[in-house]
């Protein structure tokens, strides 16, 4: 296929002017704060309620983000008839019970990634949402970024030729705290679940489900996986290299390499940024996000996408489906089994 003369335009859901849903937030921690900040600043989506096990904490969060109602119990928020959709931002260990709570109350759910601790829990959430007929999605926000929509079009158009290798890396240095969520096994700590889900998702985005997973890694003193390298092999003979670390910060880039061209997302591949398409002969096309939305501000794109999906009567996203979530969780499950047995 001839190398294109220009890159396609992004097809992300516009941040403003589209459908809205009334959001409630369960668990007002750090990621919830980032999400609320960008949703309020960059979209028309109303956040109408927040709940914590501590009313004081919920009230402080509500005051900071201009949210009308604060609850000291999760059950109170999901019973609120003014809430259409619930964003669940608790530690991984709480995703299953809080997800089931919201689904049972008939609320649409956006559940932070990873959607659960393992594929069994993920399947339980998927089955519950489907039985209830509510929208459910794992909050894999990177899939909804403008640059990712360009990458998806290039993959669909076959511009890269046959994909042979994929590489995605996420290393971030965390200060060791045995009680913090990154290193505490009771909170679902470990690199695989916390940051490994990003490069594992990227490999799935490019190549789908692998035929074979090989994993090696090392552990923190608490017993959670601290860093690992995964090799994913596919029926097409393609290979993906997925790496993650909580000990050292890496370049955090990603690339999809084909017989005709390669696609690079330099820097942090999971936030708004730059995309490059480079032909086998070295011709280069580059796109950089012009919106001014940077870093965790990119969380806004998934919020407007969810609202649009719900308005369209969908119960899952065609861009990051529940089947996609389950497939990535199976890769992480297999990696964890191999790490535990090495």
Q: Which helix (H) or strand (E) holds 168?
A: strand 163-171
Res. 1: pLDDT tops 80: no
Residues of the chain with CATH 3.30.360.10: 142-296+314-341
Q: What amino acid positions are annotated as catalytic residues? A: 113
The whole-angstrom separation of Cα 335 and Cα 214 is 7
Tokens read off for 186: 């009771």
Residues of the chain with CATH 3.40.50.720: 23-140
Question: What is the average pLDDT value for the chain, to the nearest integer?
Answer: 97
The whole-angstrom separation of Cα 107 and Cα 184 is 30
At residue 342 the predicted structure's pLDDT band, cuts being 50, 70 and 90, is: confident
The whole-angstrom separation of Cα 203 and Cα 332 is 12
- Name which of 256, 286, 252 is nearest 267 in CA terms: 252
CB-count burial class (<10 Å; 0-12, 13-18, 19+) for 5:
exposed
pLDDT per residue as tens digits for the range 106-151: 999 999 999 999 999 999 999 999 999 999 999 999 999 999 999 9
Tokens read off for 232: 């994913």
pLDDT per residue as tens digits for the range 307-333: 999 999 999 999 999 999 999 999 999
Tokens read off for 225: 């996986």
With a threshold of 0.95, does the pTM exceed it?
A: yes
Asked if 225 and 244 touch (Cβ cutoff 8 Å), the reply is: no
User: Does the domain made of 23-140 have the CATH classification 3.30.590.10?
Assistant: no
CATH class of residue range 142-296+314-341 = alpha beta
């Amino acid at each position: 296929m001839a190398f294109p003369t220009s890159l396609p335009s992004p097809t992300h859901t516009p941040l403003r002017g589209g459908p809205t849903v009334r959001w409630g937030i369960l668990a007002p921690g750090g990621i919830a704060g980032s999400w609320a900040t960008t949703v309020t600043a960059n979209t028309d989506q109303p956040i109408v309620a927040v709940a914590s096990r501590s009313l004081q904490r919920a009230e402080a969060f509500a005051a900071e983000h201009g949210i009308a109602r604060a609850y000291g119990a999760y059950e109170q928020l999901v019973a609120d008839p003014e809430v259409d959709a619930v964003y669940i931002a608790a530690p991984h260990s709480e995703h299953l019970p809080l997800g089931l709570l919201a689904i049972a109350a008939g609320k649409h759910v956006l559940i932070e990634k990873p959607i659960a601790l393992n594929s069994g829990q993920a399947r339980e959430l998927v089955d519950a949402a489907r039985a209830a007929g509510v929208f459910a999605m794992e909050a894999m926000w990177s899939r909804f970024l403008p640059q990712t929509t360009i990458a998806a079009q290039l993959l669909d158009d076959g511009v890269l030729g046959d994909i042979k290798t994929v590489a995605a890396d996420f290393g971030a240095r965390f200060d060791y705290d045995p009680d913090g969520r990154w290193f505490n096994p009771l909170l679902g700590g470990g690199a695989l679940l916390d940051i490994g889900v990003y490069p594992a998702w990227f490999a799935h985005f490019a190549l789908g489900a692998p035929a074979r997973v090989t994993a090696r890694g090392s552990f923190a003193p608490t017993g959670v996986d601290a860093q690992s390298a995964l090799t994913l092999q596919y029926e097409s003979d393609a290979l993906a290299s997925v790496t993650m670390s909580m000990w050292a910060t890496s370049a955090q880039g990603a690339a999809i390499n084909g017989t005709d061209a390669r696609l690079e997302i330099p820097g942090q591949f999971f936030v708004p940024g730059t995309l490059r398409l480079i032909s086998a002969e070295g011709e280069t096309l580059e796109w950089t996000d012009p919106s001014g939305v940077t870093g965790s501000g990119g969380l806004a794109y998934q919020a407007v996408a969810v609202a649009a999906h719900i308005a369209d009567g969908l119960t899952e996203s065609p861009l990051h489906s529940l089947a996609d979530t389950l497939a990535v969780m199976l890769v992480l499950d297999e990696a964890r089994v191999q790490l535990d047995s090495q």
